[in-house]
Structure 1
Amino acid sequence: MGDADSGVGGTGGTDGTVHGGGLRAWIGSFTSGGGRGITTATVDPGTGALTALSATKAVADPSYLAHDRRTGVLYAVSETERGAVGAFRPTAEGLAALGAAVRVGGSGPTHLSVAGRRLLTANYTSGSVSSLPLAADGAIGADGPASVLAHHGSGPDAGRQEGPHAHQVLPDPGGRWVLSVDLGTDSVRVCVLDPATGALRVHAETVLRAGTGPRHLAFHPSGEVVYVLHELDPQLTVCRWNAESGELEPVAEVPVAPKGAPGAPEAYPSAIVASPDGRFVWAAVRGADTIATFSLAAGAEKPQLTGAVPCGGTWPRDLAADPSGRRLYAANERSGDVTWFDVDPRTGQPRRAGSLAVPAATCVVFG
């Protein structure tokens, strides 16, 4: 497929699905950095090309998004000191706010996910995880969080790990446990979520190598292996996951970027994705501005770095696979674009196919 660079403000693809319920992409961005908030885009079913449809600044700095397939509602963090979340109902034209934004009881939320009838946020600045109730229609409870679980601890990097910094929170595939990744404490906490009250309680904490700064994790489709990506040291930690006991056991570390020549840019990994078929893992690496590919041909616990390609821009803050796993989308924050790649089905290597201008892009989700 040829290169297909597109600008914001297009009216849709040529397949006629803009108003017909085809696959949509939502792109978060930093409004404080010149972004348009949440951009709604159509996805061409044949090429994967994105075409911007509309944008909303209903919440400030919506740096991370989550789509609930059960209700169809899209959620966004407001990564600000006052920390909030917003809910949106997708429409033919874009997004309609589902009530006012709700405070999360923490500052600087960077990630959120849906766990049953609860919305979970990882609050980076305050180092906590919040649980908010969701109504049957997906609206967020106006009274705020039912639970705010504070993390405790620090790490050896005085500039980045002076205290806890929760960076990601998500349920395990079985929905029994909640895992929170903390960059400041070099650990992953496994929590119990009370379905009746929404209260979070720490069940276990897995301590990883000091100073690595874990940022995000991804489950292998088998549900038995977890890949933890580190921001402060370009490594991923391979862990066994026991869904019965709620235990996460580190078994190996794998470099995310090969050692460069003197003067090469430092690498700050940001996002990790496992392919739906369980054959590959991809990681976005800022600084190096690459997408690393890992083969799982030797087994889910033995990822092998097989190559890296340019991310199509600079500072890839997020990386997402489309539902088919045939394409990858990198949200390149500093160059202000979302670049998409076709994935070689044999090798897993991404090949750049096009891009969409999105200032201060931070996140891509599909629905």
Structure 2
Amino acid sequence: MAPLTILVASYTDSIYTLSFDPTPLTGSPTLKLLARTPVGHHPSWIASHPSDKSLIYTGLEQADGEVVAIKYGRGGTVEGGDVVARAKSGGADPCTLLVTEDELIIGNYSSGTIATLPVSTSVPYILSPNPWTLSMPFEHVGRNKARQSSSHPHQIIFNPLDQTEKELLVPDLGADKVWRLTKQSDGKWTISGHIDFEAGGGPRHVAARGTTLYTLLELTSKLAVHTFTPLPALPIPLTSLFTLSASPIPDTMIAAEILLPEPNASFPETFIYTSNRNDPHPEGDTIAIFSLASGEGQPELVNEVRTGLNHVRGMAFGGDEDKYLVVGGVEGGGVKVFERIDGGKGLEEIAKLGADVVGCPTGFLWY
């Protein structure tokens, strides 16, 4: 197998390019730094254009939010990226992006706004300097007054159960809701419904399978499960369970990422993987693994893998049949690649780079 390329978002000023070789001619799998592309303050999220994977967008988490377009492939290599466009994000601290063929959709965490910009795969890449914005509703300060004094959109994702890409789901940590947005005839997005969660839960990210929606609640470290139906029907809550075997201390910002890879020939059983941050254990933060063997609506915690990383945030599956999981520690430990074992029920560390090489990794993209 040829080496694989991984792009790394960070809380530094750069996007990193890594090379992961799972099958070198001699020795164990390797993870190497190829390049570092300076782009600006805290490029914490990266997403690629759906029809041009060499075109990457990132958001700069800062009060005067910006988005940046980066073009890879200079000289036939993905090592170096060139910044080819910049624009305002339509708010403060853009922490999540979704790219369509002709639109960049931005979630601005601190200002509670969703914004869009027209984009293309050719110069000038971002076609307007002025984003269209939508302010998310906010009724009252939530139970966690330090984190829920306003709307905080934390992810933008197409409804995974609707392949038409006509509905967006927006987990709002501040409002304890997942907003459901639909596109109108004028091309603008509008709120058409929402899902309510427990007070102080703090919805962060979602995943789905079949007719079931799984929502990761950051502030209570729970996995909430709903039967999910098309609008205008309301989702039906099924259950919720902690993302750790030991009950977490409330409001400690633990649960971070949720992944639900598609089953395949090597991993026919379905598992949900969630990352948990800020564990004082000497072996670092955990990745919790839930089995769906008992049914979509009945996830069961079957394993917790110690990562040796501090403040695990983003992670991403890649390689043939999603065999590998790349994970980073924002506050220590660098970047590691794990291999799925035991049919996906376990993870084994196979390669790593120290924090002195890749600083404050927050998100990943298999190139």
TM superposition score normalised by structure 2? 0.85
Distance 1:246 1:131 in 2: 27
| Contact 1:118–1:198 (Cα < 8 Å) also in 2 | no
The verdict on how the C-alpha distance between 1:319 and 1:152 changes in structure 2, with shifts beyond 3 A counting, is same
SS at match of 2:36: strand
Q: Cα deviations across residues 300-336 of structure 1 (Å, max 9, x unaligned)?
A: 2211001111123100011211152212111210005
Match of 1:8 in 2: none
Match of 1:306 in 2: 302
Match of 2:43 in 1: 62
SS at match of 2:85: coil
RMSD: 2.5
Distance 1:264 1:236 in 2: 14
Q: Which runs of 5+ in 2 are unaligned?
A: 264-268, 280-284
Match of 2:282 in 1: none
Distance 1:178 1:187 in 2: 13
Match of 1:42 in 2: 19
Which of 84, 93, 98 pairs up with 1:113? 98
- Show the 5 A alignment for 1:201-216: 201-216=190-205
Structure of greater relative contact order (alpha carbons < 8 Å, 6+ residues apart): 1
1:356 Cα deviation after fit: 1.6
1:111 Cα deviation after fit: 0.9
Which of 337, 341, 348 pairs up with 1:344? 341
Match of 2:266 in 1: none
Tell me which amino acid in the other structure corresponds to 1:114. V
The verdict on how the C-alpha distance between 1:58 and 1:266 changes in structure 2, with shifts beyond 3 A counting, is closer
Q: Cα deviations across residues 246-282 of structure 1 (Å, max 9, x unaligned)?
A: 7544321121112259x99956110010022160000
- Show the 5 A alignment for 1:1-367: 23-31=4-12, 37-46=14-23, 49-72=30-53, 73-91=55-73, 92-97=77-82, 99-137=84-122, 139-153=125-139, 154-173=141-160, 174=163, 175-194=165-184, 197-220=186-209, 222=210, 224-243=211-230, 245=232, 248-259=235-246, 268-277=254-263, 279-288=270-279, 289-323=285-319, 324-357=321-354, 358-367=358-367
Distance 1:61 1:296 in 2: 36
Tell me which amino acid in the other structure corresponds to 2:60. S
The verdict on how the C-alpha distance between 1:248 and 1:60 changes in structure 2, with shifts beyond 3 A counting, is farther
| Contact 1:344–1:351 (Cα < 8 Å) also in 2 | yes
Q: Would you say how many aligned residue pairs link Structure 1 and Structure 2?
A: 340
The verdict on how the C-alpha distance between 1:260 and 1:210 changes in structure 2, with shifts beyond 3 A counting, is closer
1:354 Cα deviation after fit: 2.0
Q: Which runs of 5+ in 1 are unaligned?
A: 1-14
The verdict on how the C-alpha distance between 1:180 and 1:125 changes in structure 2, with shifts beyond 3 A counting, is same
The verdict on how the C-alpha distance between 1:178 and 1:260 changes in structure 2, with shifts beyond 3 A counting, is closer
Percent of residue pairs identical? 25
1:98 Cα deviation after fit: 5.1
SS at match of 2:34: strand
TM superposition score normalised by structure 1? 0.85
The verdict on how the C-alpha distance between 1:39 and 1:347 changes in structure 2, with shifts beyond 3 A counting, is closer
The verdict on how the C-alpha distance between 1:349 and 1:366 changes in structure 2, with shifts beyond 3 A counting, is same
